[in-house]
Every structure is written in C-alpha cells, then in structure tokens.
Amino acid sequence: MARVGVFVCHCGLNIAGVVDVKKVAEELIKEKDVVFSTTYAYMCSDPGQNLIREKIKEHRLDSVVIAACSPSMHEETFRNATRDLINPYRLEIANIREQDSWVHESKDATEKAIKITKATVEKVKSNEELEPIKIDVERKALVIGGGVAGIQAALDIADAGYEVILVEKEPSIGGRMAQLSETFPTLDCSQCILTPKMVSVARHPNIKLLTYAEVVGIDGFVGNFNVRIKKKPRYVDIDKCTACGDCEDVCTVIVPNEFEFGRKPRKAIYIPFPQAVPAAYVIDEQSCLGIAPLRCGECAKACEADAINYDMQPEYIEEKVGAIVVATGYDLYDKNNLVEYGYGEDADIITSLEFERMLSAGGPTQGKVIKPSNGKEAKKIVFIQCAGSRDKQHKPYCSSICCMYTAKHALLFKHHVEDGEAYIFYIDIRATGKNYEEFIARVMEEERINYIRGKPAKIYRQGDKIVVEGVDTLLGKSVKIEADLVVLAMAIVPRNEAKDVARLLKVAIDEHGFFKEAHPKLRPVEAVTRGIFFAGCSQAPKDIPASVAQASAAASKVIAMFSHEKLEKEPIVAMFGDACTGCRTCFYICPFNAIALDSKGKAYGIEALCEGCGVCVAACPVGNIKLPNYEDEQIKKMVEVILE
Amino acid sequence: MKKKIAMYWGAGCGGCDVSLLGVHEKLLDLLSVVDIVFWPCAMDFKYEDLEKMEDGSIDIAFYNGAIRTEENEEMAKLLRKKAKMLVAYGSCAMEGCVIGLANLYGREEIFDAIYLNNETTSDGKVPSHELPEFLPVLKTLDSVVKVDAFIPGCPPPAPVLEEALNALLNGETNFLANVALCDECPRRDSKPDKLEIKKIKRWHAVNDDGRCFLAQGIICMGLATRAGCKAECITANIPCTGCMGGIDGLSGTSTISAIASLIDGEDEEKEKEVIESIQDVIGTFFKYSTAKLLPYGRVKDES
Ligand SMILES: Cc1cc2nc3c(=O)[nH]c(=O)nc-3n(C[C@H](O)[C@H](O)[C@H](O)COP(=O)(O)OP(=O)(O)OC[C@H]3O[C@@H](n4cnc5c(N)ncnc54)[C@H](O)[C@@H]3O)c2cc1C
Ligand code: SF4
Ligand code: SF4
Ligand code: SF4
Ligand code: SF4
Ligand code: SF4
C-alpha cells in the first residue's frame, strides 16, 4: 500500500492565476493511497523544498507527486532535495503549467489539473525503486578539428590534467582563423593571437596531436568510445623536419596554394603557411613526381635532416576515449551557386575569405588591395552582405558574423587605401556582441563608409569596372556604383565532411548540416548522445569569441565528466524479456545503437547506451521490451484515470 | 474413464471441423480416450440431446466459428452450461477471423451486398422470417461467455492441434507458444543486419528470392504472430497473414508499429508514400482480428 503525498504549486500566478490549486489539493486527498495533499506558492523555493521534506517525514510518505511546471525544469531539483528520504523514482512531476495553466484560460484548466495529477498519482504508485546505473570512464578526450575551437577545447582539457587526442585533417592546425587578417572588434592580428595557442598545443605534454589525420571509425558509448584514426602519409617525418625549406627550393612542381585560394603558387612539397603547427613540410602526393614509380627524389637529396621518406604508408591508430569534442568548423557557401552575382566568371568578384587573404601581409598580394584582373590598386569596392544568407533560395539562416567582418573589411580597406571608397549593401546590421555596435558606429561615422540598405539587383562588367545596381530602400533611391572590386560576404556552411563525422558518431545534424545540440537553450554544447560535445562553427555560425567560449564550455563539460569516479546514468533503460524472436526491428530502429544481437540472433540492450527513448518498446512486435516505470499497465491506468 | 467431449460450429466455414481430421492416425488415439457426446457436423445430434444433458457433464466442449446470430449465441451459452471446460477452437471463435471483417459494415450494407445488389442476383430479397436474428456485429466467443482455453489457427494447424489436445486432456489450458513465428521460420537467418523497407511490394508481384519476406519488402505478419504452426505458409513460400493471433495484443497493431519503424524512405514525404502504398490496410493487418479491433462495429464519423 503506497503512501502518496501530493504537493500543488501555485508558481505565483503562473498556475494559481488560472487553476484553482486549493481545489486540486482537495480533490486529490480523496484519492486512494493519497495520505496528504497541500499547496504552496513556490514549491521549488527553499521553504517549498523543506515543506516537502517535512511532510515526507511527518506522514511517512513513500511516494510524492508534485503538480507544478515541466519535469525538465525541476524534476531533478525535487529528486535531489528528497534523495535521502525516498527513492528518486518514487517522485513524479504532474505538469500543470506548460501543459495546462499556460495553454488554457477557462475553468476547464482546474479540471485538467486534477486529471493530470490523479494520473500521475496512479503512475507513481506502481513505480519501481530504481538505482542509477554506474559506468566506467576512460579519462581521455578526443577533439576532432584543430581550428580555434578545437585548439581551445584541447588546451582546456589538457590543462585540467587529462590526456587529449587532437585530430586535424589538414597538415596544420589553425583552421580558418589562421587565414584571417585582423579581427573585429579590436583589430588584433589574427595570426598573432592564434599562433601562441597553436604552439602550446604542440608543446603540451597531455596533447597528442595528429595532423593530416581523420577519424574513420567510432563505436562504444559514453566513457568508453573506441576510435580508429587514419593518418595519411605525409612523406616527411615531422620529428626530423626543421622546416628549413631546402626541399621546396629544389622541387619543380608548381601548383595553386589552397590556403591562398589558388591566388599564390606552392610546390609539391610545401608548408601550408609559415606559422604552421607542426612546423613541418608535407608532400602532396597528387602532384609530387616522386611518389609515382618514376622517381624524382630531388627533395630527399636536398634534405639535410633526412626527413623525407617516399615509402610512408597510411597509419591506423586505435584509441579509447571517454568523451569527444567535435569542432569541425565551417566553409563558405559555394560562390558558384550565386549565379546572380556572376562569381567565378569574373576575377574581380571575390569572397570574403579571399579578401581576408588579400588584406594579410603574408597573403598573395602582401596586404595590397588590388583588382585581380589587372593587378592595379582597387579604389572603389562594393561589399555585399548576406550573399546566400537569409535567402530562401540559398540559406535561410543568418550567418551571424558577416555584418561584423564586412564592417571590418571596409575599415581595413580604408586603412590600406586612404582615398578608397567603400559601399556596403546590407539587409540589417546585426551587431549584438560586446563592443560590436560601437565598432559599427565607428566604421559608419569615422570612416564614412556608405551603407546602402537593400540587395543589389544587378551586377555586370562594363569595361574594367564591375557595375552594381540596386535600390537604397531607406532613401527610396536607385543606386549604380562602378566598382573595381566586389566582395561577397558568403553564407557560412558546415564543412562537407561534417555529415560523415555525424554518421560516424551517430549524432544528429540539423536541416542545414550543422551539428544539433541536445537543447537549444539549456544544453547548447552537447549532443543528445552522452559524451559528445560541440564547439565552434560546426554547431552554428559564430565568431571567434563565441567559438572559444563554446569550446571552453565543452571542455568544462568533459572535465566535469572526468572528475567522477564512475558515471551515473538514468536507470530508465530498455529491459529485454525472453520472448525475442530475433526479428531485429528494435536493433534496426534504436537511434542510439543501444541494442545488440547475441549469437542466437536474439536482441539484448546495452544499458550504458540506452537513453530510454522507448522507441523499441513501441516497435517490438512481441512486446518483449519494457521500460521500467513506463510499463503498459501504468500507462493504461493513467489513461483510464484521465478518461474517467 | 473416457472424457466426454463436444464439438459445435457457430458462424464458420467448416474448415475447423475438418481440421480435426488433419491429425490423421492420431485421431484414433484420441477416440480411444474420449467419447464424443455431441458433434452435429459429423454425427446426428439434436439440440434437445444437448439440452437434456446434465449441467457440467461434458468434460471439454470445443466451439468453432464466431457468434453471428442469436442461435450461435444461445448455443454458446448452452454449451458453457453443459461443459466443465469451454474451448474456443480456431480463429473465428478466438478473434472473429475473416468473417469478422463484416464489422466494417452495418447489417443493412451486408444484406444489401449479399441478397440484393450483387452481380449474380436478380430480383433478390432479404429472407425475413423463421430465421435466427442476425446480430448487429460479429462477436468472438469470449465476448459472450467465459472461455477456458484457445486453440488458434485458421483452421488450427495439425501441430498446434496435437499439442492443444494433449494438454487439454491432461487438464492443461496454458499451452500456447509464447514466441512469434519468426522464431521457427526457416527464413529467419536470411534477415539482413539492418532491416529496412524502402518499398512495400505485394507477394504475387515479386520474384521470391527465398529471403525473409520483410527483407524483400513483402508484409509478413510472422513478426508478431504466435508461433506453433511450424511456419506452414512460409514453407509453402507464402508470407504469414497472422491466423494464429498476436503475442502481445493484436498481431495487426504490433505488426503495424514494427513495420512503420522499419520503413526507410529517407524523408518524411517518401515514407508517407511507402505507407500509403500498402493496399487494404485492414484486410492485410487485421484479416483475422477485425472483430477484436472493432468489437462494436465501425463507429460512424459523426461530424
Ligand atoms: C571572412 C571572414 C572573416 C572573419 N573575421 C572574423 C573576425 O574578425 N573576428 C572574429 O571573431 N571572427 C571572424 N570570423 C569567424 C571565424 O573565422 C570563426 O569564428 C572561427 O574560425 C571558427 O573556428 P572553428 O574552430 O569553429 O572552425 P574552423 O576554423 O573552420 O576550424 C575547423 C577545423 O577542423 C578541421 N576539420 C574539419 N573537418 C574535420 C574532420 N573531419 N577531421 C579532422 N579535422 C577536421 C578543419 O580542417 C579546420 O582546421 C570570420 C569569418 C570569415 C568567413
Ligand atoms: S619528390 Fe616530389 S616533393 Fe620532392 S622535389 Fe620531387 S616533386 Fe617535389
Ligand atoms: S529505449 Fe530507445 S535507446 Fe533504449 S534501446 Fe530502446 S530504442 Fe534504444
Ligand atoms: S523487436 Fe522484439 S522480437 Fe524483434 S529483435 Fe527486438 S526484442 Fe526481439
Ligand atoms: S518476417 Fe516472416 S519471413 Fe521473415 S523471418 Fe519472420 S516469419 Fe519468416
Ligand atoms: S504462417 Fe501464419 S497464416 Fe500461416 S498458418 Fe501460420 S500463423 Fe497462420
């Protein structure tokens, strides 16, 4: 015989303004097995929690129903507050706020609150007392992607004393930030603030850096992931290479340099950029003559350190890690998709990242702003914001950083070309970060940049000019600008490889391909699958401060996880009976891969992986799977009470 | 002492009575331990004969067929009174079977289709007098009287029957297999690791490659249907249609949720297309159990 206590919360007027809470308490005390009921203004407050504790002791309650807000708000709060008195799984929340008082106005709301609470009483009475499941945890983290986000996450975790494996697919870490010139709003030189961090990664005793490498397999579960990493052959031993560059001098193969978007050449043996980490050369096997049977071998002859080895093979590394941080970053939306802007056809229409390189002292023009078509200084530039963003034809979302970097671009341009003229087409200006609005104001006022509200209607070449026509919707005036250069603030999109990573990790990506967080507000850095975290632009477009902040957040989640002896896990997991016929339905549909098959083809659950979603329970055609405390019988009884 | 048994038919096709012969020579063994006191289909017994018997004097009464008329119902009640143990024999008595599909229609519609407007009738009329009343819905035996045991199947396959009879003669009522057909299906091991249905195909339109029917996109109810028949249909290369009833509730509802989980059409639109391509949903999933699904007939949409 259960002894149930019912606590009805007013939530100020949130609930009590609509629901007659007294009546709910009065009706509930009439229910079988309910031995106590009351109401209180704020159940979650300290006195509210104390009230519950006292009444449990006074009335020897073994079950508690709290009629209040959604369980996702305070279920944990209340369970923790009473953990020493009753089993947490004998406490249930009846949601009479989100599912009742907030959505109804009439007197029916009280009726509904009574039904919801009665049904919850019915459930709690037959709830089993459960204990959390304990899982071992491997105190080592994997970080995928070595942009600023991945670097920050790796450093934070490593500084806390845990081992980190940082996997970067390019020959150097650094990501996009390494390509930027100066950064808004403070105009620090991007390389200058990034390089020290890159070097710390390379030197950190707790970080194992694997560049030119990719994760090719992952299985296991939180605390116990098994990872398989493929290291592509670099043909240069990074430990021996001194980055003297002698090899580069002798190499005769010249190809476009990707880091410079092809606007500068490189050799088949190259270093991606001077500050690269690891500071070592790499041979691009596609263009090198020496890897092919007909050997060239010049670089090896030139290399005094004897670092070059044409026989290097791909290497596979297996690691066991407890947590994974995904920081695979972003790309720009392919400019060729924007046929309306004529990109690709015209050398004088470039993307924002190409413009960053043009502004960089180390870039293809040594910081000179030129017209690529003739190499002459560009005097008049049109910047186009939201190129591909906020556009249903392309990407419906806001890329969030283009307003800021375009302002920066215009400002830096004016610093480079004093008599230059800059025009910016924009839809709105979104400058919500700290000191961002001030930065925009400064650009607008001090630098006298011409902001034109509207989208350009037409872009075409006329002689050696690019003509941009549009309407300034603020002035209601049409504008026509004959520009030397057009810079497109292209939409930020996830890297192509992100979907492969998502597939390997079995985590969700959103409709645009960004990694999907467990909860957009309350769990913004973690995946639904436990032990996997997101940082930087892989989760959504964001600037450097936000990327770094999210990386630190992800790292602290990992550190918090590692600080426990064992991981605890909700015991609401699928339980398998012995009626399984091996139909594999559950095995196929479990979104968390928490089901395996034994040698006879019968299904069993992997507790540590199961999230208790219940999908398999509904799907099993023979009713062989149950979720404790969500048994059919309990649910039927709840429905009966509601239909009474 | 020999056990006294009775066998009666309600609304059914007669296949169940015949199925008793399907146990072949075992029937002789059976006859050596029982006395048949009532079996109108096989021997000349009259209603009065049964009425005269003492209450509870029959050891086991088997009732096959569903309850469609007042007479069926009366006989079911009478047998209940006369028998110590009443057994629902076959799918009709247990779940209403194929004739239960009639619960999708009202009495008028049924009479109209049978007696008036069909291709082989002209000047038809609905017979009206001297006949037991046709009930508004078809009922299963257990919705009319208490039933002690069920022998599933349409009709009960020989292996099921043998096991059932052995058990019942020993006073055992709990003899049904508790696993689904897949468990004893010869095609089970051909199930691919990841079972996904991209297209639903009908059995006659597929060149059967011998693998699990589901893997070929053919709806097979073996997933949710009680084992015991030794996969008779599958062995004859025909997917299971579920005559043995479900393991966990109705096999139809279970199969629907399982199959819905297995459909993989990449996006929601395509998945909807796949689902909508299923022909005759009720006839496919509830061929034998519509009377259980709709015990009160179809509730007409009032809006
Ligand atoms: C034109 C432009 C100007 C900008 N200017 C500014 C500015 O002034 N100030 C500012 O705050 N922000 C600026 N930003 C934004 C800034 O670039 C980003 O916020 C930041 O670079 C995000 O870092 P990240 O680590 O998330 O991604 P990335 O820098 O993209 O790094 C991702 C890394 O992951 C690696 N990777 C990807 N997939 C895999 C894989 N499968 N396996 C292994 N490794 C992988 C990539 O090679 C890369 O190294 C600008 C952006 C643009 C486009
Ligand atoms: S071996 Fe390859 S990298 Fe070295 S010099 Fe020859 S082409 Fe260049
Ligand atoms: S409850 Fe959900 S997560 Fe757990 S085994 Fe079933 S389908 Fe997988
Ligand atoms: S769905 Fe049920 S019967 Fe099928 S494999 Fe899973 S547990 Fe076994
Ligand atoms: S689904 Fe049908 S064919 Fe497949 S294993 Fe089960 S019974 Fe056999
Ligand atoms: S395979 Fe299915 S339809 Fe055929 S006899 Fe067995 S249970 Fe009945």
SS3 string of A311-332?
Answer: CCCCEEEEEEECEEEECCCEEE
Say which DSSP state A100 is in: I
Locate B160 and state its tokens.
């099921």
Comparing C-alpha atoms, which of A306, A260, A256, A307 is closest to residue A284?
A256
| CA A174 to ligand 1 center in whole angstroms | 8
Q: Does A444 touch chain B (CB under 8 A)?
A: no
Nearest CA in chain B to A624: B248
Tell me the ligand closest to A490's alpha carbon: 1
Among B178, B187, B191, B261, the residue to mutate for chain A (most A Cβ within 10 A):
B261
A274: preceding bond cis by omega (within 30 degrees): no
Q: Does A374 touch chain B (CB under 8 A)?
A: no
pLDDT score at B124: 86
pLDDT score at A464: 93
pLDDT tens digits for range B32-88: 889 999 998 888 888 888 999 999 999 999 999 999 999 999 999 999 999 999 999
d(CA A381, CA A440): 18
Q: Is the pLDDT of residue B13 over 70?
A: yes
Q: Are B217 and B201 in contact (CB under 8 A)?
A: yes
Q: Does A602 touch chain B (CB under 8 A)?
A: no
Enclosing domain of residue B210: 181-293
> Is B22 part of a structural domain of the chain?
yes
Give the residue whose CA is nearest to atom 8 of ligand 6. B243
> Is B302 part of a structural domain of the chain?
no
Q: For chain A, how many helices (H) and strands (E)?
A: 17, 34
Residues with CB under 6 A from ligand 4: A 576, 580-587, 603, 619-620, 622, 624-625
Whether residues B22 and B164 fall in one domain: yes
pLDDT score at A13: 93
Whether residues B187 and B154 fall in one domain: no
> Is B261 part of a structural domain of the chain?
yes
Q: Does A582 touch chain B (CB under 8 A)?
A: yes
Whether residues B219 and B138 fall in one domain: no
The rounded Cα B93 to chain-centroid distance in angstroms is 7
Strands (E), A352-420: 380-387
> Is B106 part of a structural domain of the chain?
yes
pLDDT score at A221: 87
> Is B129 part of a structural domain of the chain?
yes
Residues of chain A with pLDDT below 70 are 292-294, 342-344
| Inter-CA distances, A557 with A153, A160, A207, A390, Å | 10, 12, 18, 33
Q: Does A591 touch chain B (CB under 8 A)?
A: no
Q: How many domains does chain B have?
A: 2
Locate A405 and state its tokens.
């970097």
Whether residues B154 and B226 fall in one domain: no
Inter-chain CB proximity A621 and B254 less than 8 Å: yes
What's the average model confidence in pLDDT over B272-279? 91
pLDDT score at A294: 62
At B29, give phi and psi (nearest 5°). Answer: -55, -40
Inter-chain CB proximity A621 and B196 less than 8 Å: no
pLDDT score at A344: 65
Q: How far is B194 from chain A (nearest CA, A)?
A: 5
CATH of the domain at B127: 3.40.50.700
Comparing C-alpha atoms, which of A398, A397, A470 is closest to residue A429?
A398
Whether residues B43 and B121 fall in one domain: yes
Kindly list the residues from chain B whose CB atom is less than 8 angstroms away from the CB atom of residue A583. Answer: 180, 182, 191, 195, 223, 258
ipTM rounded to 2 decimals? 0.79
Tell me the ligand closest to B222's alpha carbon: 5
Locate A93 and state its tokens.
């929340």
Kindly list the residues from chain A whose CB atom is less than 8 angstroms away from the CB atom of residue B255. Answer: 621
> Is B244 part of a structural domain of the chain?
yes
Q: Are B191 and B223 in contact (CB under 8 A)?
A: no
Instruction: Give chain B's largest Cα–Cα span.
Output: 67
Whether residues B39 and B131 fall in one domain: yes
Whether residues B164 and B188 fall in one domain: no
Inter-chain CB proximity A585 and B261 less than 8 Å: yes
**Which of B125, B146, B169 finishes a domain?**
B169
pLDDT score at A290: 76
Whether residues B150 and B256 fall in one domain: no
pLDDT tens digits for range B96-118: 999 999 999 998 899 999 999 98
pLDDT score at A510: 94
Locate A115 and state its tokens.
């039904």
d(CA A121, CA A125): 6
Inter-chain CB proximity B258 and A585 less than 8 Å: yes
pLDDT tens digits for range B16-26: 999 988 777 77
> Is B222 part of a structural domain of the chain?
yes
Whether residues B129 and B206 fall in one domain: no
pLDDT score at A292: 64
pLDDT score at B29: 82
Interaxial angle between packed helices B158-169 and B26-33, expressed in degrees from 0 to 180 and rounded to the nearest 10:
20
**pLDDT exceeding 90 applies to what percent of chain B?**
67
Q: Is the CB of A605 under 6 A from ligand 3?
A: yes
Comparing C-alpha atoms, which of B257, B252, B191 is closest to residue B221?
B252
pLDDT tens digits for range B198-234: 899 998 888 999 999 999 999 999 999 999 999 999 9
| Pick from A581, A584, A589: CB nearest B180 | A581
Kindly list the residues from chain A whose CB atom is less than 8 angstroms away from the CB atom of residue B247. Answer: 579, 621-623
Nearest CA in chain B to A578: B179
Q: Does B72 touch chain A (CB under 8 A)?
A: no
Structural domains of chain A sorted by starting position, each given as residue range(s) with its CATH number in brackets? 4-125 (3.40.50), 140-232+314-329+502-562 (3.50.50.60), 246-302 (no CATH), 332-493 (3.50.50.60), 575-627 (3.30.70.20)
Instruction: Give chain A's largest Cα–Cα span.
Output: 93
Q: Does A316 touch chain B (CB under 8 A)?
A: no
Inter-chain CB proximity B258 and A620 less than 8 Å: yes
Q: Are A184 and A400 in contact (CB under 8 A)?
A: no
**Which of B169, B202, B237 finishes a domain?**
B169
Q: Are A141 and A322 in contact (CB under 8 A)?
A: yes
Whether residues B154 and B188 fall in one domain: no
Measured from the CA of B231, which atom of ligand 6 is nearest? 1
**Which of B113, B147, B169 finishes a domain?**
B169
Kindly list the residues from chain A whose CB atom is less than 8 angstroms away from the CB atom of residue B224. Answer: 621-622
Query: Which residues on neighbouring strands pair with residue A220, listed in sequence order?
Result: A225
Residues A577/A583/A584/A589 CA torsion (nearest 10 deg): -90
Q: Does B188 touch chain A (CB under 8 A)?
A: yes
> Is B300 part of a structural domain of the chain?
no
Inter-chain CB proximity B224 and A621 less than 8 Å: yes
Comparing C-alpha atoms, which of A175, A126, A86, A212 is closest to residue A626?
A126
Whether residues B90 and B196 fall in one domain: no
Whether residues B118 and B10 fall in one domain: yes
Inter-chain CB proximity A601 and B261 less than 8 Å: no
pLDDT score at A167: 98
Comparing C-alpha atoms, which of B63, B64, B59, B57 is closest to residue B85?
B59
d(CA A248, CA A241): 12
